[in-house]
Structure formats: structure tokens, C-alpha cells
Amino acid sequence: MSLEIEKVKNLIIGSGPAGYTAAIYAARADLKPVLYTGLEPGGQLTTTTDVDNFPGYPDGIQGPKMMVELQQQAERFGTDVRVGMATSVKFSSKKGGFHIVTIDDKKEIHAKTVIISTGASAKYLGIPSEQRLRGGGVSACAVCDGFFYKGQEVAIVGGGDTAAEEATYLSKICSKVTMLVRKDHMRASKAMQHRVRASKNIDLRFNTEIDKVLGEQVVEGLRIVNNINGKKEEIKISGLFIAIGHKPNTDIFSGQLDMDSDGYLITNGKSTKTNIHGVFASGDVQDKEYRQAVTAAGTGCMAALDAERYLAELQ
């Protein structure tokens, strides 16, 4: 069965700050962008609360609200925002050729330019007891699921800014938060560490890892291990939050676009150009260093400008 085909000048995959900013610029440059949102419209910021570090909001803004406003701004200039998932790609190696992106295995978009802003997804520890209890008390999003553990004891794994932010958030809802950090120090910024230490009901444990998540149907506790002396201990909790970083969403581009050893797309110098003519990457999918909403938005703008220049060169 042949799939429906639609030809476009500019296709944007992903709906985080990078995708929407690319859309604002592409639409204003009359590239008539079509944007597919992916499975999580609005991206990672829809699972966060206060965004206090995006310029222009002196009192901060809620992440989900900011994403709705970014979408509205992109639509105001004519971006065609659609719900759908890119399921496979076939990029043209010829300059000026059409790149084929299949949506939901149902439709083919043939695009002169493609901007990839597919972001990154939460990582899990990968131990069997954790995997088995995903959805049964194991979560990678405190802001989404913390409410279910109101007044209860929970644990969080990780020592970065996400873990620190989520631990602080949980400490306001839950009776106690045990924070497990595998090293003897946290990677989080000093300001975030300070917030963790100032929260009286966060029990911060260094050099500590999870040996097993306990419970049959739902999380009932953890067996934790001190990685210096090997001492094991069981603690009772009803929710476990994993905050150990993210994996770039690049599986469908494997074998076609250059990636680093962690799967992040490689862009050329200061630009957003990938190794394929007319295919550009912006946001967390190509940035494992800064990973901020504002830097993602910045590279989204760059990708749209790169796409516009590429199309102008073809004429």
C-alpha cells in the first residue's frame, strides 16, 4: 500500500523550545513550516514547574504555560502544528533533493529542509526490579507523579540539577525524601545544592546506590548499598524517582546522520548543519553540554536561519 505524500519546504520534528523557536523564524521567513509535535507535545518543559531562568519573565513562568505560549507564537506566523510522530527517515544525499520523513507509519512528508529538534528522554538505571515497577511507584518525573505520594516517604536517585530540583519539589509534598548520590559529591549547581541542604526532610546519602527495588506490585522499599564499604540497608518508601540524566532521541536517524558515542547529533562548527545537505539539528538532541531552554531556543533560531539560507542557495 502506498502512503499519502505531502511536499513541504520545511519540516520541523519536535515541539520543545528548539522546535517552536525554529518554527517562529521559519514561518516569518515564509518557509511555511510544518511541525510535528512527537509523543510529548511541548517537550521536557511540560513536566517541570517554575522556569525562573528564561529571559523575559521577571517573575518566572510555569513550564507548560511557556510551551503553550511558544506554540501560539509559532502558529501566529502560520506554522502548521500537527500531532504526530516521525517513525522513519530516508534522507537524500543529493543537494536540493527531497528528504522523506514518515509520520506514524502512515504518511510521507517530502521536505526540502528538515529541522530535527527531538530532544532527549529520561534515563533509567536499568536494573530488573526498577524496570518491573515502572508505573508502579517508579517514575522519572517528580513534577508529574509527586502528587501521588503526598505525605509519604519517597527516594530520588541522582546528584545533578534535575535530582536536586526534584528532591526540593518532593520535599514540599512528601514527609521524607531520601536522596541517593553515587559519588561523594553532587554535580548540581551550588545554588541547587544549597536548597537541598536547607530542606530539613531531605536525607542526603552520598556513595549510595540501589541494589534492589523492593515490592511485588508496587514499590514498598529499597535495598541500598554503600559503594565504599559494601554495607547494605533496607529503607521503606512508596515512590522512587529516577533523575540521572537523559538520552537523545536519535534512534530513527541511526546510520544516516553522524552522532557521537552517546547518540547526540553532530553539527558542523558553529552551525546547525548535519552531515546531510538540508538537514539541521537544534536543541538537546545536539547539545549535551548546556541543555537549557534558552540555549535550545537559540539553536532553533539558528537552524531556521540555516534552512532559509540553504533554500536561497538552491535558487
Catalytic residues: 141, 144-145
Stretch of 24-32, 88-96, 141-149, 153-161 contacting ligand NDP, by CB under 6 A: 153-161
Ranges within 117-146 binding ligand NDP (CB under 6 A): 125
Span interacting with ligand NDP, options 6-14, 146-154, 158-166, 229-237, rule CB under 6 A: 158-166
Q: Which one among 9, 28, 65, 182 touches ligand NDP, defined by CB under 6 A?
A: 182
**By three-state DSSP, how is residue 172 classified?**
coil
Q: Cα separation of 35 and 186, whole Å?
A: 38
- Give the count of beta carbons closer than 10 Å to the beta carbon of residue 83: 12
159-178 residues in contact with ligand NDP (CB under 6 A) are 159-163, 165
HEC states along 13-52?
Answer: ECCCHHHHHHHHHHHHCCCCCEEECCCCCCHHHHHCCEEC
User: Which of 106, 185 has the CB closer to ligand NDP?
Assistant: 185
* Cα three-residue angle 214-217-223, rounded to 5 degrees: 5
> Closest CB to ligand NDP among 34 and 180?
180
Q: Which listed range, 66-74, 181-189, 231-239, 307-315, lies at the site for ligand NDP (CB under 6 A)?
A: 181-189
In the bound state with ligand NDP, the residue whose beta carbon lies nearer, of 168 and 267, is 168
Residue identified by cell 506554540 is 71
Between CA 221 and CA 236 the distance in angstroms is: 4
Asked if 194 touches ligand NDP (CB under 6 A), the answer is no
Does residue 15 interact with ligand NDP by CB under 6 A?
no
Q: In the stretch 53-92, what mask flags binding to ligand NDP with x, by CB under 6 A?
A: x---------------------------------------
Strands 221-226 and 232-236: antiparallel
Is 293 a binding residue for ligand NDP by CB under 6 A? The answer is: no
Among 63, 146, 158, 283, which residue interacts with ligand NDP (rule: CB under 6 A)? 158
Chain positions 224 to 253 lying near ligand NDP, rule: CB under 6 A, are 244-246
- Cβ nearer to ligand NDP, comparing 137 with 158: 158
Q: How far is CA 82 from CA 41, 70, 86, 91, 283, in A?
A: 10, 14, 11, 21, 19
CB-count exposure of residue 188 (10 Å: 0-12, 13-18, 19+): buried
Joined together, the cell numbers standing for residue 292 give: 537549557
Interface with ligand NDP (CB under 6 A): 53, 125, 157-163, 165, 182-183, 187, 244-246, 291
